[in-house]
Structure 1
Amino acid sequence: MLDSVHFIFLIFLGMLSLVLVMIIIVIIYSIYQYRLSVRISGWSEIINKKITKVIVYEEDEESTDHGFLEANKNSLFRNLFLQKLVDSEKKFSGAAKDNIKHLFENYNLQNDALKKLSQNKSHLIAGGIQELTAMNSGHSLPEISKFLTHSSPQVYQEAQYAMVNFKGFEGLHFLATIQSVISEWQQLRLLGSITHIPENSEELIKGWLESANDSVIIFTLKLIRKFQLLSVYSMITQLLTHSSTEVRVQTVQTLLSVENASTITYLIEAYPDQPIEVRFEILKAIKSSGDKSALNFLKNQLLNSKESAVKVYAAEVLFSFGQQEFLMLVAQDEASSEELIEIIKHAVQEKI
């Protein structure tokens, strides 16, 4: 009996000791976090003053700012300094932006950013690439290019953006081999970094339009729209038979953007063989073009299409083309179905 009580007492004592140890650990960690937050707050103030002084007065008293120089020996401080510079770079332009980059160079922060590229964690690598890109550290490009085939989307997307940010159109060379999907957001980032298309780029663009990667084709179509590359028009038309519906939708949008006199006729001819999403896009293209040569086609869709949604949109386009009289005649025709009459009434009422 005494042994049992003694055993229970030992268990209780052990649990109590464990709880006390955990409490002590939590207290120590809380104190550490508090001191760190106070330290970071102080560092932030020092860094903000430094950046503000450089932006406003365009001067940096590097040799006499002993407090800053002492803090700058700490790797945590330098990382915070780097983050602050990147954040500030996004907010300013012109001379202020140049002065921020001078701070980056003067304090050799590119070395800190480059060190992150040798880390194992994806978010650290991506962060390093972002910092080097934001600070326009062009000489780091060979190191950054190694991450174009990295397994992490977070990393290879930043590497892609860096290549295009530094080299413009020439930085898109990875499109020839990329197997991963280029997200819509990434496409917008890349497009925003390209300011012109060099001459004699037609073959490259044609190659991308033949890519096995649908997202590469879609990105290329957006590129064609942005820069109105009329020379590849005939190749664009071939994509209306592509296996991807989204590629076809983007193709219709691109054909409208670089349209010529035969574009609407071609789209109407291709219409019957398209999935519903593409047919809607063709109807939208006809409406946007304002090409009244499509009137007979639109009337046929209104009267004979099997999809109610197509009838509705055809009626709306006809109304926008000034065909109110035709629509009212159809609505008043005794041979017209109740559905068709309701569709026309809806289209007319919506537009009045």
Structure 2
Amino acid sequence: MSPENLMIGVKIMSVCILLIVAMIYIQTIAKKRLFFHTERIKSNIEVWISHIILEETIEGIDIPKKFFRMLNDPKARQVAIDELIKCKKNFSGAVADNIVVLYNKLGLREDSLFKMKNKRKWYLQARGIQELYLMDQKDLLTKIYRETNSKHEFVRSEAQIAVIHLTGFNGLRFLDVITYPLTLWQQIKLLEQLKLFGKKEDLSDRIPKWLLSKNDTVVVFALRLTAEYQQFAVKDKVVECLVHPSKIVRTQAIKTMIALSDENTASMLIGYFSKEDFENQIHILNSLASLANDDQKDFMIKLLDAPDNIIKVKAATVLTNSCTDGIQVIEHRATIEPEPFERILRHVKSVK
């Protein structure tokens, strides 16, 4: 490369670097200005909102025009919604009611509704649903309910939480219609939401229908509900799920049977033991450590001959913890078959 071409290349590179630096500087300044602009809006709105919501009632109060003018800025409107939601979470009673009234009076409900209707941007739709249910907009329940089976996971997740937030256990009717999977995280979130309404709920008339759902995750969630709310009336339906085609259903059915356990549970689980895969067999044996008695002793002794050493260890643990002279059975096996029973014996003694 000639010196002239090299200099041209250096000049071009220098100009590119200067342009990049200038763009970074401009973006930084713009972000800084936006940050301080947002903070000023937030500070002013916090003052106004704090003053208004602490009034005994705001139904007849005149909100200053200056406040309305401030809300002409879309950023200010979103800041106001966020601030009201934050206040709503921290207050109850008359103050919480005032927050909802103010939200409606300022026309912010329309902003949230506009977001909820935005089918192209799922993240805005989910946010709109969240804002509406946190602001107790119960008259929009039907519109929100339609989104419980949305193709977008986060939209249907917010909608499902919303209908429970607004109507309690009756909101679970979306389980009748949803076709998309309920993720484990969503199931946990729904259970957390339900706990806000107490634990004395009879679901025995609804759970059997959900246990027959074609959506396996609905069946799993129904089994979780059965365990969480101790729905003994549907125990026979839970037993039927022990032979469900889906493994995740059978696994949850085992856990639910344990949660509803009685004197017959151990024998019942042993009856399904040989039909299960290894993982579910381990679940069963883990539960039998606390459920088994001498009625299961012969079966546990047979499992000491299982080809898998983990099964042997689990069976030995059940014998030691729950059966008369169980430790002596392991000691005897260790004398005639040192490997692996000497190691198994040391293990069960260490955890006894």
Asked if Structure 1 and Structure 2 have the same fold, meaning a TM-score greater than 0.5 normalized by the shorter chain, the answer is yes
Of the candidates 227, 240, 243, which is equivalent to residue 241 of structure 1? 243
Contact 1:225 1:258 (8 Å CA) reproduced = yes
Whole-angstrom distance in 2 between the partners of 1:50 and 1:272: 68
Instruction: Tell me, in whole angstroms, the C-alpha distance in 1 between the residues paired with 2:343 and 2:114.
Output: 67
Within a 5 Å distance, the mapping from 1:146-225 to structure 2 comes to 146-194=146-194, 195=197, 202=205, 204-225=206-227
1:293 to 287, 292, 295: 295
Post-superposition CA distance 1:54-91 (Å, at most 9, x none): 56676769636554333122221011111222233334
2:280 aligns to what?
278
Letter in 2 for 1:49: V
Return the offset for 1:15: 9.2
Asked if 1:316 is matched to 2:317, the reply is yes
Q: Distance in 1 between matches of 2:111 and 2:66?
A: 20
Q: May I ask how many residue pairs the two structures share in their alignment?
A: 341
Between the aligned partners of 2:52 and 2:328, the Cα distance in structure 1 is 70
Partner of residue 268, structure 2: 266
Which residue pairs with 1:346 in the alignment? 347
| 2:62 equivalent in structure 1 | 63
1:262–1:15 CA distance, 2 compared to 1 (3 A): closer
Alignment root-mean-square deviation, CA: 3.2
TM-score of the superposed pair, with normalisation by structure 2: 0.83
**In structure 1, distance between residues paired with 2:16 and 2:339:** 79
Amino acid paired to 2:244: H
Deviations along 1:182-213, whole A, 9 cap, x unmatched?
Answer: 011111222233346876852x4222111221
Does the CA contact (< 8 Å) of 1:316 and 1:348 recur in 2?
Answer: no
Give the secondary-structure state (helix, strand or coil) at the position aligned to 1:273.
coil
Q: Aligned in 2, Cα 1:290/1:332: closer, same or farther, shift over 3 Å?
A: closer
Output the amino acid matched with 1:320: N
User: Does 19-28 or 103-112 show the bigger shift?
Assistant: 19-28
- Per the alignment, residue 100 of structure 1 pairs with 99
Q: Write out per-residue CA displacement over residues 308-348 of structure 1, whole angstroms, 9 at most, x where no aligned residue.
A: 1122122223333375x542453255313320121111111
Q: Taking structure 1 as the reference length, what is the TM-score of the superposition?
A: 0.83
Q: Structure 1: any 5+ residue segments left out of the alignment?
A: none
Q: Where does the alignment leave 5 or more consecutive residues of structure 2 unmatched?
A: none
CA distance change for structure 1 residues 200 and 179 in 2, over 3 Å: closer, same or farther? closer
Paired residue secondary structure (2:245): coil
8 Å contact from structure 1 (residues 245, 277) kept in 2: no
User: What percentage of aligned pairs have identical amino acids?
Assistant: 27
Give the residue type in structure 2 aligned to 1:37: F
**Aligned partner of residue 163 in structure 1, secondary structure:** helix
Structure 1 Cα separation of the partners of residues 292 and 56 of structure 2:
55
- Residue 46 of structure 2: which of 43, 48, 55 is its match? 48
